[in-house]
Amino acid sequence: MTIAFRSTRGEAPELSFSRAALRGLAPDGGLYVPTRFPDAEAIQAGSLAEVAERLLAPFFAGDELEPELGAICRDALDFPVPLRSLDAHTRLLELFHGPTAAFKDVGARFLAACFARLDRPLTILVATSGDTGGAIASAFHGRDGIEVGILFPEEGVSARQRAQLTCWDGNVHAFAVRGVFDDCQRMVKAAFADEAWRAAKNLTSANSINIGRLLPQAAYYAHAALAHGRRPSFVIPSGNVGNACAALWARAMGLPIERIVMTANANRPVPDFLADGDWQPRPSVATLANAMDVGNPSNMERVRDLYPEIAALREVVEASSTDDATIRRRIVEARERWGVVLCPHTATAADWRLDRPDGEAVLVATAHPAKFESVVEPLIGESLPVPPQLAELLGRPDRSTTIDAELAALQRALG
């Protein structure tokens, strides 16, 4: 029986993987989830691309991309995801060896490799306040028949983030919007609401709720669980909770995973929900771990779809929250204890572990610390070498166009 993708809200037709990825959000406003999880207990260890191909094959059975799955995995997942020992029972899963030095490269590259093999021409529009836009730009750059528009707030991103958004030529266009992130999001929404332009451009989104970004992330959990061998818990710095949801899906497929720990910064809707059973989205607050500044994590809809009963959820999932002062302290402590330099996001996972040293744990390192040098370097008192792939991007010229915060300006600029 093939596996389709259904909406969490149950009011939209089921689609194949490819169609659900092209669609983005389901028409009833829900998120796509698999209709069932295949049993992957017997899956063989191998390279990340090999494990991904084995794990994802049942989801591609009958899909138009089925014959391409191996090529997609090799194309997208061509960088290492090392599992480094911190102590006898603690490891670090480094997901930051891709082109933009954060785990979002995995999902973005997989989605780009899929779209490059589907109906084109396509136009991808994304609003970004940081990491996502760089990963999307890098993943789609040079893909035939796909134009990409990245909208970011002119004043709202760090110098290194800006460089990763604006260094592209050819099919990737970066727009510095005279406004804030919410203006960028409003413009993208308005573009999708303009039916004529949407159809003419074949507009598609690539935001973090896209199933084509989420599902492949289950592959590195499978890869790491198999490599680790002793049924670890994964400790995952979480914002929109997509990364942790992918880990829950890997576990649902029978991989040897004990528990999932979602570590938050000072934005605490998830830990509060697990503590008192009351789901209370709220406005986000700014923290040092800014890619996790999410007050209403959209992927909780998928997590709650998997575990509708809070008691069942609590058996598998744990959550914690770490404030900025503790993030700083744990970066220093991780350096002293384990000899590693962590980014502020990963420091929230270290915070959980340093208080609970029992059992096997894999801490998930979501970004390279050199992306957050202004926070990390003063704490450790030395400068961090920039990974070569990142240094290469940072050395390129800024090719962005500055536009007013209105749809017409975007439409003129994109032609």
Ligand X SMILES: *Cc1c(COP(=O)(O)O)cnc(C)c1O
Which residues, including other chains, have CB under 8 Å from residue 93's CB and lie 6 or more apart? 81, 82, 83, 220, 224, 234, 362, 363, 364, 365
Q: Is 176 an interacting residue with respect to ligand X (CB under 6 A)?
A: no
Which span (145-153, 168-176, 177-185, 233-241) binds ligand X, by CB under 6 A?
233-241
CB of 96 to ligand X, least distance (A): 8
Which residues, including other chains, have CB under 8 Å from residue 395's CB and lie 6 or more apart? none
- Of 302, 333, 399, 379, whose CA–CA distance to 31 is shortest? 302
SS (H, E, C) 66-104: HHHHHHHHHHHCCCCCCEEEEECCEEEEECCCCCCCECH
Q: Is 99 an interacting residue with respect to ligand X (CB under 6 A)?
A: no
E-strand stretches of 218-339:
233-237, 260-264, 317-321
Q: Which is nearer to ligand X, 123 or 346 (CB)?
A: 346
Q: Do you find a cis peptide bond into 385, omega within 30 degrees of 0?
A: no
> 401-404 and 260-264 as β-strands: parallel, antiparallel, unpaired?
unpaired
Q: Which is nearer to ligand X, 148 or 292 (CB)?
A: 292
Provide the token pair at 20.
């659900």
CB of 75 to ligand X, least distance (A): 22
Q: Which is nearer to ligand X, 43 or 260 (CB)?
A: 260
The binding track of 132-171 with respect to ligand X, each residue x by CB under 6 A or -, is ----------------------------------------
Q: Which of 232, 237, 369, 387 touches ligand X (CB under 6 A)? A: 237
Q: Which of 8, 161, 243, 284 touches ligand X (CB under 6 A)? A: 243
**Residues forming a β-bridge with 364:** 93
Mapped onto helix, strand or coil, the DSSP state of residue 148 is strand
Segment 252-311, which members bind ligand X (CB under 6 A)? 291-292
Segment 101-130, which members bind ligand X (CB under 6 A)? 102, 104
Give residue for tokens 């809707």.
Answer: 269
> 233-237 and 361-365 as β-strands: parallel, antiparallel, unpaired?
parallel
Pair 365, 92: CB distance under 8 Å: yes
Q: Which is nearer to ligand X, 239 or 269 (CB)?
A: 239
Q: Which of 53, 63, 94, 131 touches ligand X (CB under 6 A)? A: 131
- Rounded distance, CA 226 to CA 233, Å? 13
Q: Which is nearer to ligand X, 117 or 368 (CB)?
A: 368
Q: Is 366 an interacting residue with respect to ligand X (CB under 6 A)?
A: yes
CB of 345 to ligand X, least distance (A): 4
**Residues forming a β-bridge with 1:** none
CB of 176 to ligand X, least distance (A): 21
Q: Which is nearer to ligand X, 14 or 377 (CB)?
A: 377
Which span (185-193, 237-245, 280-288, 355-363) binds ligand X, by CB under 6 A?
237-245
Segment 332-361, which members bind ligand X (CB under 6 A)? 345
Q: Which is nearer to ligand X, 130 or 179 (CB)?
A: 130
Which span (1-9, 21-29, 39-47, 239-247) binds ligand X, by CB under 6 A?
239-247
Q: Is 100 an interacting residue with respect to ligand X (CB under 6 A)?
A: no
**Residues forming a β-bridge with 102:** 367
The binding track of 67-96 with respect to ligand X, each residue x by CB under 6 A or -, is ------------------------------
Q: Which is nearer to ligand X, 16 or 217 (CB)?
A: 217
Q: Where are the alpha helices (DSSP H) in 26-167?
A: 48-60, 69-76, 104-115, 131-140, 159-166
Residues that bind ligand X in the complex, under the rule CB under 6 A: 102, 104, 131, 208, 237-243, 291-292, 345, 366-367
